[in-house]
């Protein structure tokens, strides 16, 4: 009995230094976040402005996204080719060269014809939304995990978005990618703004 009592009193004593260190680190992070909350607010405002512009001009955003994607693929392809030669003779040299060349060719095609690339991207997005939405609906109805109703609603909305894009294809190909990018930026921006004000309201005793 005495041994058990001794063990019970020793465990908290052994864990106390670790808890104290964690508390100090947590307070330090709070102080740092509270002093820099306006950076998060600025980021959120910029994202909201960018998302609003993208929603107002979805066609321009669609073309810009395709051009950026093409340039990114070209840069990645060139970097892959250079890295393959830089590594010297090895078993994956040929594969890396082919991947790099593929990146460059596809990137050039997308950058040269952003409108056509937007059409391909739109049909890909429609197919992805339909498949992902159907999968979420089936998973929510079969598994019935906690809060499965929200997953079911999410799946239904995603599925319907895919059907709408597919039914209005190819007319929607000019604006669907720009619209999705604008919505993502807008929601992301409001998330950062909310986080910034939440950090600002951290009590001084905690920060």
Is residue 121 in a domain? Answer: yes
CA atoms within 13 A on the CB side of 65: 26
Is residue 196 very low, low, confident or very high in pLDDT (cuts 50, 70, 90)?
A: confident
Dihedral over Cα of 51, 53, 59, 60: its sign = negative
pLDDT of 186 higher than 80: yes
Output the six-digit token pair for 84.
């393959």
Is residue 17 in a domain? Answer: no
Q: Which of 149, 122, 123 is nearest to 136 (CA)?
A: 149
CA 88 to chain CA centroid, nearest Å? 35
pLDDT mean over 187-206: 76
The chain-wide mean pLDDT, for the chain, equals: 78
Domain count, the chain: 1
Specify the pLDDT at position 33: 67
Specify the pLDDT at position 31: 65
The residue written with tokens 């330090």 in the block is 28
Output the six-digit token pair for 33.
């976040």
pLDDT of 88 higher than 50: yes
Is residue 2 in a domain? Answer: no
Q: How far is CA 183 from CA 56, 70, 134, 137, 178, in A?
A: 11, 22, 22, 23, 9
pLDDT mean over 100-109: 88
Is residue 1 in a domain? Answer: no
Is residue 175 in a domain? Answer: yes
Output the six-digit token pair for 122.
């739109």
Is residue 63 very low, low, confident or very high in pLDDT (cuts 50, 70, 90)?
A: confident
pLDDT mean over 165-174: 78
- DSSP code at position 92: T
Query: By percentage, how much of the chain surpasses pLDDT 70?
Result: 77
Burial tier of 183 (Cβ tally within 10 Å: 0-12, 13-18, 19+): middle
Specify the pLDDT at position 21: 62
Q: Which residues lie closer than 8 Å to 164 by C-beta, 6 or more apart? A: 172
Residue ranges making up the domain that contains 71: 43-200
**pTM score above 0.75:** no
Report pLDDT digits (tens) over 116-162.
787 888 888 888 889 988 998 998 888 877 677 888 888 898 898 88
Report pLDDT digits (tens) over 10-61.
444 444 555 666 656 656 666 666 677 778 888 889 888 988 988 888 888 8
Burial 110-123 (b: 16+ CB within 10 A, else e): bbeebeebbbebbb
């Amino acid at each position: 009995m005495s041994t058990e009592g001794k063990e019970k009193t020793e465990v908290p004593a052994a864990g106390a230094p670790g808890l104290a260190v964690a508390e100090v680190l947590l307070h330090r992070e709070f102080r740092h976040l509270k002093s820099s909350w306006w950076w998060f607010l600025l980021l959120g405002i910029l994202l909201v402005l960018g998302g609003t512009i993208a929603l107002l001009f979805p066609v321009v955003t669609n073309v810009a996204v395709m051009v950026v994607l093409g340039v990114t693929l070209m840069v990645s392809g060139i970097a892959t080719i250079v890295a393959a030669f830089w590594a010297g003779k090895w078993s994956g040299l040929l594969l890396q060269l082919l991947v790099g060349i593929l990146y460059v060719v596809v990137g050039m095609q997308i950058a040269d014809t952003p409108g056509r690339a937007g059409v391909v991207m739109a049909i890909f997005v429609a197919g992805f939304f339909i498949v992902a939405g159907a999968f979420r609906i089936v998973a929510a109805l079969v598994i019935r995990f906690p809060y499965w109703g929200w997953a079911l609603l999410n799946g239904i909305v995603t599925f319907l978005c895919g059907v709408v894009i597919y039914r209005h294809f190819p007319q929607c190909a000019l604006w669907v990618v720009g619209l999705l990018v604008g919505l993502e930026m807008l929601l992301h921006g409001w998330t950062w703004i909310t986080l910034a004000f939440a950090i600002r309201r951290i009590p001084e005793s905690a920060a």
